[in-house]
Amino acid sequence: MQKIYSQIIQIAGDVITVEADDVGYKELAEVRTASGVSMAQVIRLDGKKVSLQVLAGSRGISTNDRVRFLKAPMRVSFSENLMGRIFTGSGAPRDVGPRLEDNLISIGGPSVNPSKRIVPKNMIRTGIPMIDVFNSLVESQKLPIFSIAGEPYNELLARIAMQAEVDLIILGGMGLKYDDYLFFRDTLDQHGSLSRSILFIHTASDPTVECLLVPDMSLAVAEQFALQGKRVLVLLTHMTNFCDALKEISITMEQIPSNRGYPGDLYSQLAARYEKAVDFDGAGSITILAVTTMPGDDVTHPVPDNTGYITEGQFYLRGGRIEPFGSLSRLKQQVNDKTRDDHRAIMDRMIQLFADYRSTLEKRSMGFQMSGWDEKLLRYGQRFETELMELSVNIPLEEALNRGWRILADTFEPAETGIKESLVKKFWPQKQLSTK
């Protein structure tokens, strides 16, 4: 039986507190006010004191309003009808489509049983050379995109959403500017990718608690589609806003803060979401790419610092490019020996030569005389940056590898590359090989 409580003992921000029995954590409740009914979610249990975050905000709520607990957690509809739709952080339609209330599934459940997981083995092609060639994205991987404010991380996510070779894209936006929301919606629609996408969007003007619901809704839906055999890519932007929402609510709840005001359970909160990445045995997969902005470009900030202990590498976005140094996909070895014979050789040697190029730039800036080898490195590095690093470059993996060989052949002698002779004979551009 659903009990009704008519005495709210405290209102602090968007959090209300009542005394109630037999209430579960994250349980939903209805708050009936003079202006209508608002949904709320249990966020803290302290004996009989139950604290709830009101999804629509606490404006208009008085202490004598009635609270009715629904004996169920937050749920979201799951069906093929979600495809091409856009929803708020609470699951309400943000587009002009109808509200979906059939086949409701709970959000925020536990991560997948390890016995149901298999070793990641399939590459997700994106058409971006700095990912496909040098830090391959693998199914079931969880990777953050570390960036500072002002970098084109949303543009990067949109490109991946349009080009990634997966069955379904789920985009979770947290604290987005309205212009950013329109950018995602219009870009995916114009390029025909919206039909295979589901968007859960929380804007900066929406209630804070909805920001916390976006990853859980996105991942709950992703899990159901993955169980049906679909390869699902979940794109989250950005997790720093999610963590700031956690901090805001914890301060409201008067919790003892940890590093820089963030709650002490920040690590477990992040891990609970990232660990939803999985490759199911006999079914589909969930892969997570999540933007994490670094205030002041500080990688020791609590959000990127905790994230790095959970995820399987990271992409660094700097200067509008994916930086080769610092970016790492720890699972790339699972797939890049199955793409083409020269993949690992090109990946390793081109990065080594690019590191030498960066050192040569430092030598030149200090006024050292450039040798013939230094001049070659300068030509090589400039072409590497413009032909492979620029985010505007959009080519398949095989073309990217071929382009890598052409850059090497136009700059160096075969023996100078350090690549084994069998691969040089097979992949070195024949025109250059015959003239050298």
Listed in sequence order, the residues at least 6 apart from 110 whose beta carbon sits closer than 8 Å to its beta carbon are none
Report d(CA 159, CA 391) in Å as an integer: 9
Residue 25: pLDDT band with limits 50, 70, 90: confident
Using alpha carbons, select from 215, 369, 372 the residue that is nearest to residue 292: 215
76-334: CATH topology: Rossmann fold (3.40.50)
Q: Which has more pLDDT, 245 or 56?
A: 245
- pLDDT computed for residue 72 by the predictor: 87
* HSE-up of residue 318 (Cα within 13 Å, Cβ side): 14
Exposure class string for 353-382: b at 16+ Cβ within 10 A, else e: bbebbeebeeeeeeeeeeeeebebbbebbe
* HSE-up of residue 94 (Cα within 13 Å, Cβ side): 20
- pLDDT computed for residue 214 by the predictor: 96
The residues spanned by each domain of the chain are 4-72, 76-334, 343-435
pLDDT tens per residue, range 120-148: 999 999 999 999 999 999 999 999 999 99
Q: How many CB atoms lie within 10 A of CB 407?
A: 22
Whole-number percent of the chain with pLDDT over 70: 98
33-37, 83-87, 191-195, 374-378: which range is least confident on average?
Answer: 33-37
Using alpha carbons, select from 7, 216, 246 the residue that is nearest to residue 110: 216
Examine the pLDDT at 431 and tell me if it is beyond 80: no
Q: State both tokens at 106.
A: 């709970």
- pLDDT computed for residue 1 by the predictor: 57
Report d(CA 11, CA 4) in Å as an integer: 18
- pLDDT computed for residue 432 by the predictor: 55
pLDDT tens per residue, range 289-346: 999 999 889 999 999 999 999 999 999 999 999 999 989 999 999 999 899 999 999 9
CATH number attached to the domain at 4-72:
2.40.10.170
Residue 433: pLDDT band with limits 50, 70, 90: low
Whole-number percent of the chain with pLDDT over 90: 75
